Chains A and B, each alone.
Chain A
Amino acid sequence: AQSVTQPDIHITVSEGASLELRCNYSYGATPYLFWYVQSPGQGLQLLLKYFSGDTLVQGIKGFEAEFKRSQSSFNLRKPSVHWSDAAEYFCAVVDNAGNMLTFGGGTRLMVKP
């Protein structure tokens, strides 16, 4: 069965600092991976996705993620965090049929001024 682990429940960074959110997955085949962001009381917005090809994928809002098969990881990065990036971030993997999304537990990002 597929699974996703986000080891950090909370992360606090200073505005302007770099950010890396960790995601580890378990999946038997080539994984299809996503990062979503959720503001309080809102739905989830897709940041980026990886299906194949270049292991470094670019997303919206200046985010990028790198797929590393050897480490079973898909970490999300941003070079300079803005206060508006404070939110909860979810990593997810989908099955081969594209139907069953399995989410990690989420990482709540707080940004210090």
Chain B
Amino acid sequence: DGGITQSPKYLFRKEGQNVTLSCEQNLNHDAMYWYRQDPGQGLRLIYYSQIVNDFQKGDIAEGYSVSREKKESFPLTVTSAQKNPTAFYLCASRQTGVAQPQHFGDGTRLSIL
């Protein structure tokens, strides 16, 4: 089945440690996105990529980094510079075209030990 796979489902980080969240899609979508969700809040955009080897900052990019070396993969690194990383992280993708909706993975919950 086509879809978006995020791994791991749960992730724990020690203080001062970088961690990488995986997002893979087999939908052949051009664009991919990373969002952060905090309890009781909507989703906030961290980074997005419209094509391979190109990406743009969203509203809350500080303390995060991404890469887009392959069309199907868009990993997110939460760096030690991100002082409040505990959150639910959602990856999405969509096909090119303004009418195309974003499709979401099942998320990764990151917690600080």
Contact = CB atoms under 8 A, between A and B. Distances in A.
B90 A32 contact: no
Contact of B99 (A45, A90, A98, A106): A98
Contact of B42 (A34, A97, A104): A104
B98 A94 contact: yes
B97 interface: yes
Interface in A1-36: 4, 9, 32, 34, 36
A43 interface: yes
A99 B50 contact: yes
A6 B49 CA distance: 28
B48 to A, nearest CB: 6
A11 B48 CA distance: 32
B71 interface: no
A83 interface: no
B40 interface: yes
Contacts of A51: 98-99
Contacts, number: 59
Interface string A72-105: 0000000000000000001000101111110111
B69 interface: no
A43 B107 CA distance: 6
- Size category of the binding interface on chain B: 20 to 34
B19 interface: no
A36 to B, nearest CB: 8
B43 interface: yes
Contacts of B43: 44, 90, 101, 103
A99 B101 CA distance: 9
B41 interface: yes
Which of B41, B98, B109 has the most A CB atoms < 10 Å from its CB?
Answer: B98
Q: Give the 9 A-B CB pairs with smallest separation, nearest first.
A: A98-B98, A43-B104, A103-B42, A44-B104, A43-B106, A105-B42, A103-B43, A46-B101, A43-B105
11 contacts: A9-B40, A46-B102, A49-B99, A49-B101, A51-B98, A94-B98, A99-B48, A101-B43, A101-B102, A103-B43, A104-B42
